[in-house]
Chain A
Amino acid sequence: MSPAGCSHVNGYKVDNWKQNLRVIYQCFVWSGTAETRRRKVRQSDAGWTELAKSCVCHMCGAHLNRLHSCLYCVFFGCFTKKHIHEHAKNKRHNLAIDLLYGGIYCFVCQDYIYDKDMEQIAKEEQRKAWKLQGIGEKYTTWEPTKRELELLRHNPKRRKITTNCTIGLRGLINLGNTCFMNCIVQALTHTPLLRDFFLSDRHKCEMQSNSCLVCEMSQLFQEFYSGHRSPHIPFRLLHLVWTHARHLAGYEQQDAHEFLIAALDVLHRHCKGDTIRDDNGKKANNPNHCNCIIDQIFTGGLQSDVTCQVCHGVSTTIDPFWDISLDLPGSSTPFWPLSPGGDGSTVNGESHLSGSTTLTDCLRRFTRPEHLGSSAKIKCGGCHSYQESTKQLTMKKLPIVACFHLKRFEHSAKLRRKITTYVSFPLELDMTPFMASSKESRMNGQYQQTVDVINNDNKYSLFAVVNHQGTLESGHYTSFIRQHKDQWFKCDDAIITKASIKDVLDSEGYLLFYHKQFLEYE
Chain B
Amino acid sequence: MCSFCEKIELTAQYDSKFVLFLPLNPHRSQSCYLAIKISNTVFQMKMEDMPLSGPDNTKLEALVHDIYSELVEDACLGLCFEVHRAVKQGYFFLDETDQESMKEFEIVDQPGVDIFGQVYNQWKNKECECPNCKRLIAASRFAPHLEKCLGMGRNSSRIANRRLASNNNNSKSESDQEDNDDLNDNDWSYGAEKKAKKRKSDKNQNSPRRSKSLKHKNGDLGKSIISEPYKYNYNTGISYESLGPDEVRSLLTTQCGVISEHTKKMCTRSQRCPQHTDEQRRAVRVFLLGPSAPSLPDADPVVESDSFDIPEGQTLMNHPQWEDSPDISPTDSASSKASTNHSDSRKLKKKKRMTLNLNSGVGAAAAAVVGGGGGIGGVGCLASGSSTSGGSSQSSISLPSKKKRPKLSAASISSTYHDLN
A binding-site residues for B, Cβ under 8 Å: 3-4, 64, 66, 80, 100-101, 103, 109-114, 143-144, 149, 152-153, 156-160, 162, 164-167, 169, 171, 173-179, 227, 229-231, 233, 235-236, 238-239, 242-243, 246, 249-253, 470, 473-474, 476, 489, 493-498
- Find out whether the CB atom of B115 lies under 8 angstroms from the CB atom of A249: no
- Find out whether the CB atom of B143 lies under 8 angstroms from the CB atom of A166: no
Question: B409 CB to closest chain A CB, in angstroms?
Answer: 17
Question: What is the bound-complex CA distance between A66 and B4, given in angstroms?
Answer: 11
B132 to chain A: which residues have CB within 8 Å? 239
A235 to chain B: which residues have CB within 8 Å? 128-131, 139, 142, 146
- Find out whether the CB atom of A252 lies under 8 angstroms from the CB atom of B88: no
B49 to chain A: which residues have CB within 8 Å? none
Kindly list the 4 A-B residue pairs having the minimum CB-CB distance in the complex, ordered from nearest.
Answer: A176-B143, A229-B116, A249-B152, A474-B419
Question: What is the bound-complex CA distance between A233 and B140, given in angstroms?
Answer: 9
A251 to chain B: which residues have CB within 8 Å? 143-144, 146-147, 153
Given A64-B70, A173-B123, CB of A253 within 8 Å of CB of B31: no
Given A165-B106, A176-B141, A249-B152, CB of A473 within 8 Å of CB of B373: yes
Given A175-B143, A231-B123, A252-B375, CB of A166 within 8 Å of CB of B106: yes
Question: B99 CB to closest chain A CB, in angstroms?
Answer: 10
- Find out whether the CB atom of B88 lies under 8 angstroms from the CB atom of A156: no
Which of A66, A143, A243, A250 interacts with B154 by CB under 8 Å? A250
- Find out whether the CB atom of B98 lies under 8 angstroms from the CB atom of A246: no
Judged by a CB distance under 8 angstroms, whether B421 is at the interface is yes
A-B contact pairs, 22 of them (CB 8 A): A4-B90, A66-B77, A100-B78, A112-B81, A157-B101, A158-B97, A174-B140, A176-B143, A176-B144, A177-B143, A229-B118, A233-B126, A239-B132, A242-B150, A242-B152, A249-B147, A249-B153, A250-B147, A251-B144, A494-B123, A496-B116, A497-B114
Judged by a CB distance under 8 angstroms, whether B53 is at the interface is no
Given A176-B144, A235-B142, A238-B143, CB of A473 within 8 Å of CB of B374: yes
B416 to chain A: which residues have CB within 8 Å? 473
Judged by a CB distance under 8 angstroms, whether B179 is at the interface is no
Question: What is the bound-complex CA distance between A167 and B126, given in angstroms?
Answer: 22
Given A160-B102, A166-B115, A233-B126, CB of A498 within 8 Å of CB of B109: yes
How many chain B residues touch A (CB < 8 A): the figure is: 61
Interface centre among B118, B132, B154 (most CB of A within 10 A): B118
B93 to chain A: which residues have CB within 8 Å? 153
Question: What is the bound-complex CA distance between A173 and B10, given in angstroms?
Answer: 53
Question: B120 CB to closest chain A CB, in angstroms?
Answer: 5
Which of A101, A144, A171 interacts with B77 by CB under 8 Å? A101
Judged by a CB distance under 8 angstroms, whether B91 is at the interface is yes
Question: What is the bound-complex CA distance between A167 and B88, given in angstroms?
Answer: 30
Question: A162 CB to closest chain B CB, in angstroms?
Answer: 7
- Find out whether the CB atom of A144 lies under 8 angstroms from the CB atom of B143: no
- Find out whether the CB atom of A114 lies under 8 angstroms from the CB atom of B88: yes
- Find out whether the CB atom of A176 lies under 8 angstroms from the CB atom of B140: yes
Judged by a CB distance under 8 angstroms, whether B89 is at the interface is yes
Judged by a CB distance under 8 angstroms, whether B84 is at the interface is yes
- Find out whether the CB atom of A174 lies under 8 angstroms from the CB atom of B115: no
Question: A210 CB to closest chain B CB, in angstroms?
Answer: 9
Question: B294 CB to closest chain A CB, in angstroms?
Answer: 26
Question: B79 CB to closest chain A CB, in angstroms?
Answer: 11
B binding-site residues for A, Cβ under 8 Å: 4, 6, 30-32, 70, 74, 77-78, 81, 84-85, 88-91, 93-95, 97-98, 101-102, 105-107, 109, 114-116, 118, 120-121, 123, 126, 128-132, 139-144, 146-147, 150, 152-154, 372-375, 416, 418-421
Which of B84, B91, B98, B128 interacts with A112 by CB under 8 Å? B84
- Find out whether the CB atom of B421 lies under 8 angstroms from the CB atom of A493: yes
Closest to A210 in B: B131
- Find out whether the CB atom of B94 lies under 8 angstroms from the CB atom of A144: yes
A156 to chain B: which residues have CB within 8 Å? 98
Query: Total number of A-B contacts with CB less than 8 angstroms?
Result: 165
Question: What is the bound-complex CA distance between A460 and B84, given in angstroms?
Answer: 36
Question: B396 CB to closest chain A CB, in angstroms?
Answer: 34
- Find out whether the CB atom of B107 lies under 8 angstroms from the CB atom of A175: no
- Find out whether the CB atom of B374 lies under 8 angstroms from the CB atom of A495: no
Which of B77, B94, B153 interacts with A158 by CB under 8 Å? B94
- Find out whether the CB atom of A159 lies under 8 angstroms from the CB atom of B373: no
Question: What is the bound-complex CA distance between A229 and B107, given in angstroms?
Answer: 11
Which of B78, B89, B146 interacts with A239 by CB under 8 Å? B146
- Find out whether the CB atom of B418 lies under 8 angstroms from the CB atom of A253: yes
Question: A111 CB to closest chain B CB, in angstroms?
Answer: 5
Question: What is the bound-complex CA distance between A111 and B97, given in angstroms?
Answer: 28
A175 to chain B: which residues have CB within 8 Å? 139-143, 146
- Find out whether the CB atom of A227 lies under 8 angstroms from the CB atom of B142: no
Given A159-B105, A239-B131, A250-B153, CB of A474 within 8 Å of CB of B142: no
A152 to chain B: which residues have CB within 8 Å? 94
- Find out whether the CB atom of A177 lies under 8 angstroms from the CB atom of B152: no
- Find out whether the CB atom of A238 lies under 8 angstroms from the CB atom of B421: no
Interface centre among A3, A4, A111, A235 (most CB of B within 10 A): A235
Question: What is the bound-complex CA distance between A512 and B101, given in angstroms?
Answer: 35
Closest to A148 in B: B91
B94 to chain A: which residues have CB within 8 Å? 144, 152, 158
A246 to chain B: which residues have CB within 8 Å? 152
Question: What is the bound-complex CA distance between A152 and B97, given in angstroms?
Answer: 12
Question: B155 CB to closest chain A CB, in angstroms?
Answer: 10
- Find out whether the CB atom of A166 lies under 8 angstroms from the CB atom of B116: yes
A498 to chain B: which residues have CB within 8 Å? 107, 109, 115
Question: What is the bound-complex CA distance between A473 and B140, given in angstroms?
Answer: 20
Closest to A119 in B: B85
Question: What is the bound-complex CA distance between A149 and B88, given in angstroms?
Answer: 13
Which of B128, B150, B420 interacts with A233 by CB under 8 Å? B128
A177 to chain B: which residues have CB within 8 Å? 143, 418, 420-421
Question: A20 CB to closest chain B CB, in angstroms?
Answer: 23
A494 to chain B: which residues have CB within 8 Å? 123
Question: A455 CB to closest chain B CB, in angstroms?
Answer: 26
